[in-house]
Amino acid sequence: MTQLDLFADLADHAAEPEPIPATFAASPRVNVAPPPPQSPEHRQSVTVESPASRPSGRPRPVRDPHRLAVEIGEAVAERWHNRHGGSAIEVPIGVVAALTLIGQKDPGDPDLKAQILAQDGPQMITMLREIWSTQWLHRPDLIDRARILHEWLNDDVDDYRMAAVLAVAETALKRGLFDLTGHADPFLRSATDVLSPVMMCMRSHGARLGLGEFHTPAPLAESIAAVTVSEMVTAAAGFAAQQPSPGDHIHDPAAGSGGLLRAAAQLLRERGHDPATYRWSMVDVDHIAAACAAVNAIVWSLGPHVTVACADSLANPNAVEDAMKEARAVYAHRDEVVGKAQIMATIRQTQHLLEQAHAPAA
């Protein structure tokens, strides 16, 4: 089975993936300096300069991560609406999503949460822009799929919205977001889907009904994943007779923010498998849900072989193949942008050396 490696070095072109059939269908991550893109799965570590910061250890795993995720979602929605943030719910969801993409660089460094909380509005907006930009360099396909969560940052952010953004970030962090997503260990970082309850709480009941949106509770998702993976012998051809094996394709045609695949990835880890060696694909008709799934794929370290499509699986059975074509185009655009940036940097460096060489002696 041809492997899809969409995370090549920036100097190389992305591999040309071939459409593949699904073989397992789950039922219906201030100033950030981009590090060199050399690891197969990148999740940003941030060092922020701030006064009165004290070192702290890594976040500890919480006893009930699903409950904490719901509490964060409820608190974020309440704070956004209390600040009259408006109907653009992609803004607060995007703020939380960006914060899930970063983590403490080193336990001995100044406390990341305290440093972020010490920022003012312009600093917060700058940090959010740089988080998304850095992630785009490493996974342009997923960040492009998540663009609804960050494209508002391309415009000027007025003081009113900036205050609401600050309030959301403060609420999410103080409620314990980094206790869920700040771990270096992807198993701990994947203990729950924090973006699902944020999205659900931001939407009204009527809006969810109109979208036909019913998210699977995390404990139920884990039970479904356990049963399904345990009975892979009855799944479609392509899996080993009794155990899943690297290269197998795990697909959810109505993924929401990816909760069932998170549970499947956790089960694989518990059985000694690395999810990054599998193929993952998710499809959802809702743009925000698909965007959250794309972010979660990075947070949960699903690896380089991930495709997220925004489409109706019933109306378009080729949604995954179409998304793979879009991914190839996005990677080509990324390579072109980076190539031009490298040329410009070389020209500027050459000009600087020439100016130094022709400068009059002191």
pLDDT in tens, 60-74: 667 899 999 999 999
Question: According to the model, what pLDDT value does residue 33 have?
Answer: 37
Q: How confident is the model at residue 353 (pLDDT cuts 50, 70, 90)?
A: confident
Task: Give the lowest-confidence range in 3-12, 153-162, 304-313.
Answer: 3-12
Residue 260 maps to a domain: yes
pLDDT at 9: 32
Angle between helices 65-82 and 159-174 (to 10 degrees): 160
- How many domains are contained in the chain? 1
Helix axes 90-100, 121-138, angle to 10 degrees: 70
Domain coverage including residue 353: 44-358
Residue 10 lies in a domain: no
Most confident of 101-115, 135-149, 211-225, 342-356: 135-149
Cα–Cα separations (whole angstroms), residue 350 to 177, 254, 339, 354, 358: 45, 52, 17, 6, 12
Question: Counting beta carbons within 10 angstroms of the beta carbon of residue 45, is it exposed (0 to 12), middle (13 to 18) or buried (19 or more)?
Answer: middle
Is the model's pLDDT at 213 over the cut of 60? no
pLDDT exceeds 50 at position 302: yes
Q: Centre a 10 Å sphere on the Cβ of residue 240 and count the other Cβ atoms it contains.
A: 10
pLDDT digits (tens, 9 = 90+) for 4-53: 222 223 333 344 444 333 334 443 343 333 333 334 456 666 544 433 33
| Residues 222-233: tens digit of each pLDDT | 555 555 554 443
Q: Which two tokens stand for residue 55?
A: 């070192």
pLDDT at site 215: 53
Beta bridge pairs of residue 13: none
> What is the Cα–Cα distance from 174 to 171, expressed in whole angstroms?
5
Burial of residue 48 (number of CB atoms within 10 Å: 0-12, 13-18, 19+): buried
Residue 14 lies in a domain: no
9 belongs to a structural domain: no
**240 within some domain:** yes
Answer whether residue 16 is part of any domain. no
Query: Which structure tokens are listed for 284?
Result: 């959802």
| Confidence at residue 34, expressed as pLDDT on a 0 to 100 scale | 34
Give dist(CA 208, CA 203) in Å, integer: 7
pLDDT at 40: 43
Determine, yes or no, domain membership for 20: no
Please say if the pLDDT value at position 337 is more than 60. yes
Q: What is the CA radius of gyration of the chain?
A: 21
Is residue 135 included in any domain, yes or no? Answer: yes
Q: Is the pLDDT of residue 348 over 50?
A: yes
For residue 311, give every residue at least 6 positions away whose Cβ sits within 8 Å of its Cβ, in sequence order, or none.
283, 285, 319, 322, 323
241-289 pLDDT per residue, tens: 456 788 899 999 999 999 999 999 999 999 899 999 999 999 999 999 9
